Amino acid sequence: MTRTLPLTYPAPVRRLTDPSPAAIEAAAVTLVAAFDNPTTRACNGEASEGIDIVRQRATLIEAIIDPRMEVLVIEEEQDVAALVFIIPPEFKRRPVDSLAPHNAALAALVTPELEAVGKKLDTALAQLKLDTFGPAVNEMYSIGRLATSPGHQRKGLGRILLDVILDRARNENRDIALVTPTPSVRDWYLRMGFHIHGKLDIELRVASLSSRRLMKELADIKGNGTPTGIALVSADNMEEWVFTIQVLGDETVYRGETFALRIRFGERYPIEYPEVTFLAHGQYKPPMHPHVYTNGHICASILGPEWSPVLNAVSVCITMQSMLASCKKKEWPKGNDSYVARAPANPKHTRWEYHDDTV
C-alpha cells in the first residue's frame, strides 16, 4: 500500500527534511528536554536509560532520511518548539546500512549499540501492539514521538501537530495506535479523544465510531459554520461540546435571550443518542419552556425513540432552537419541582413520556 505525502502543511507546521547538524541538534535538544525527566524514566524503566543527545540525533536522522516517515516541527524564535514523528501503516524498521546515500552520516551517529537498542524496543513495541490490536494494527498510523519543549508548553502546539495526524487518519479512514506509559501524557491523549484499549491500560487509539464521527462533525463546523443563532463555544475534547442558542425573530417569547446547550457523547454515538441538557448554572439559565425542567433536562422525542444515527450535534441544536421558537407562553413543565428533586444526573436514565408535540 502506498500513500502520497502532502506537499504543504498548515502554518506554522513544516516537514523537517534537512539532516544538517544544526537542524538535527535543535530537534534533538527538544526531544531530550521533553522526555528526559524523572517521571518518564520512572515509567519507562530500563527503556529510558541513555536518553541523550547522541541517541536522539540518531533517531532523527533515521526518520528524516527515510522517505516513508515524516518529522513535523513547529519553530519559534529559531527553536524547535514542538515536533512529532508520523509512522505510516505497515512500517518496518530498515537496517541502517540500507538508508543510502546517508550512510556516512548515520555510521557516525548510529552506533551498533544504539541500533541494537532500537531494534529491541521496536520488536517489543510491535509485538505489544499486535497482541493488543491484532492484525489490524498494520493498517494504522502510529505516533512515534510527540514532544513539546518545556519552554513552549501550554500554547496548544501539541494539539496543532496532533490535528495534522488526525486529519490524515480521518481522510484515509484509518485508526491511530500509540503506546504511552506516562500517566500525564496518557491523560492528555484521552482529552484529545483517544480511548484506552487493551488490558495494559497504556494502549490508546482513535478507533471508536464516536471519535471518527465527531472529528468529521467538527471539521464540517469549522469549514461551513453553524446556522444563524447557533454557535459552538466549546469543543475541547470528543466527549463534551457546548453550543449557545438564540431564537430568531421579533415574535419569540425568548427575544434577546441566549441559552447554552451541553451535549455529551458516549462511545456508541451516533448509534445511541447523546446526553443533552441546557446549562443551569453560571451565566446561563435554562429556558422556561413546557418541555425543559429547571435543572436543564429536556423532554424531547428526538432524544429518545425518534433519534437517528443520521442526526448530529448541529441537528440537535436546530431542533432545540425550533422547539423554543414554537413556544407561545413561558412556563415550566407540570411536576417540575418533584421531578428535579428526584431526577437522575443523566436525563437518559429518565423514563420520559412523549404526549405533546405542539410546543
Q: Print the SS3 string covering the chain.
A: CCCCCCCCCCCCEEECCCCCHHHHHHHHHHHHHHHCCHHHHHHHHHHHCCCCHHHHHHHHHHHHHCCCCEEEEEEECCEEEEEEEEECCCCCCCCHHHCCCCHHHHHHHCCHHHHHHHHHHHHHHHHHHHHHHHHHHHHCEEEEEEEECHHHCCCCHHHHHHHHHHHHHHHCCCCEEEECCCHHHHHHHHHCCCEECCCCCCEEECCCHHHHHHHHHHHHHHHHCCCCCEEEEECCCCCEEEEEECCCCCCCCCCCCCEEEEEECCCCCCCCCCEEEECCCCCCCCCCECCECCCCCECCHHHCCCCCCCCCHHHHHHHHHHHHHCCCCCCCCCCHHHHHHHCCCCHHHCCCCCCCCCC
Q: pLDDT tens digit string along 243-263?
A: 999 999 888 999 999 999 999
Which residue shows C-alpha cell 428533586? 341
Catalytic residue among 43, 299, 317, 327: 299
Q: pLDDT tens digit string along 295-354?
A: 999 999 999 989 988 899 999 999 999 999 999 999 999 999 999 999 999 999 998 887
Domains of the chain by start residue, with CATH: 13-207 (3.40.630.30), 225-349 (3.10.110.10)
Provide the grid cell at 105: 552520516
Residue 196 has pLDDT above 80, yes or no: no
Closest CA to 29 of 11, 55, 63: 55
299 is catalytic: yes
Whole-model pTM: value is 0.48
Single-letter amino acid, residue 249 = G
97-101, 180-184, 192-196: least confidently modelled range: 97-101
